[in-house]
Amino acid sequence: MNATMLMQTIASGLVMGLIYMLIALGVTLLFGIMRVVNFVHGELVMLSAFAVYFMTTAAGLPFFVALALAAVASSVVAVFCQYALFSPLQYDILNCFIVGIGASFAIRSASWAIFGPEPIAIASTLPGVLNIGGVFIAKQRLLAAVLCAGLAILLAVFLRYTRHGKAMRAVEQDREAALLMGVNPTSVYVTAFVISAVLAAVGGAMLGTLFGVDPEMGAEPILKSFIIVQIGGMGSLLGTVIAGLFIGLTDSITGTLLGGELAFIFDFSILMLILIVRPRGLFGYDA
């Protein structure tokens, strides 16, 4: 592997890492705040992608308008899931996991039945490829990377400097104390679901332009999200960001160097290692 190939691999890896990171942020938010492992998150990614696809093709809406509408729709679905599925189970971690799996199977199957089998893709908003000294970066990928990074920063700002954000962090760190301080848990939970839904929508739209739209598209991101969130530390924003980039890079490097199959083993071996050496992840709180 020469220098150009290495640069190419790194560039590709960072971009992918950012996209997975965005989706993982949604997962970490929900877990940090209410200890819910939201399996339906992957389907929100998928449904948003379909929504954007149909709105840009059938309804002819411009991409970012479609994206905004999809984000709204995604939030509605997420809050619906919250009240229909997770809340009745009192956010019990195992039960929510199972019900999330059931719901995700059902949604996926329904999508197959409704949307039919043909692979489709959302048209690129920014076609063309940049060539920087032998390293190729598709412009659409760059756009996705910038968007994901931007949203992550926005989220960080929101959590650190706004009232709502601080309330969320308070609940995350110590629920009882937050309640004693007068924080309204319901509004915090709903906000968390909405934010994660919006992140999922953007992630889905990006994935849809880069990799096409199909009912199974949520499966891999959600699995990767779990790995990322675990390595970074459940509930830690910074951890998720770093872990996301790390996973993106690792995937890319092992995939290019060793071939796709070994990369698969590698990911999980690293996860196991980190979990054994430092169970709470890089930046996580103690369980």
CB 96 within 8 A of CB 86: yes
Of 93 and 181, CB closest to other proteins: 93
Q: Which helix (H) or strand (E) segment is 165 a member of? A: helix 163-173
Q: Compare residues 88 and 150 and give the one whose CB is closer to other proteins.
A: 88
Amino acid at 213: V
Number of C-alpha atoms within 13 angstroms, CB side, residue 177?
Answer: 8
What does the block give as tokens for 194? 């909405």
* Least CB distance to other proteins at residue 157 (A): 29
Give least dist CB 61 to other proteins, A. Answer: 18
For residue 114, give the H/E element and its range.
Answer: helix 93-115
Residue ranges of E strands in the chain: 129-132, 135-138
The smaller minimum CB distance to other proteins, of residues 8 and 75, is found at 8
Query: Of all helices (H) and strands (E), which one includes residue 107?
Result: helix 93-115
Give dist(CA 240, CA 237) in Å, integer: 5
Rounded Cα distance, 39 and 53, in Å:
23
Long-range Cβ pairs for the range 150-154 (8 Å, 24+)? 151/22, 151/199, 151/202, 152/18, 152/21, 152/22, 152/25, 152/237, 152/241
- Least distance to other proteins, CB of residue 213, Å: 9
60 or 182: CB nearest other proteins: 60
Q: How far is the CB of 160 from other proteins (least distance, A)?
A: 26
In this structure, the number of other CB atoms found within 10 A of the CB of residue 117 comes to 7
- Smallest gap from Cβ 168 to other proteins, in A, equals 20
* Radius of gyration, CA atoms only, the chain: 19
**103 vs 168, beta carbon nearer other proteins:** 103
Closest distance of CB 227 from other proteins, Å: 8
Write out 264-283 in H/E/C secondary structure.
HHHHHHHHHHHHHHCCCCCC
Closest to other proteins by CB, 167 vs 192, is 192
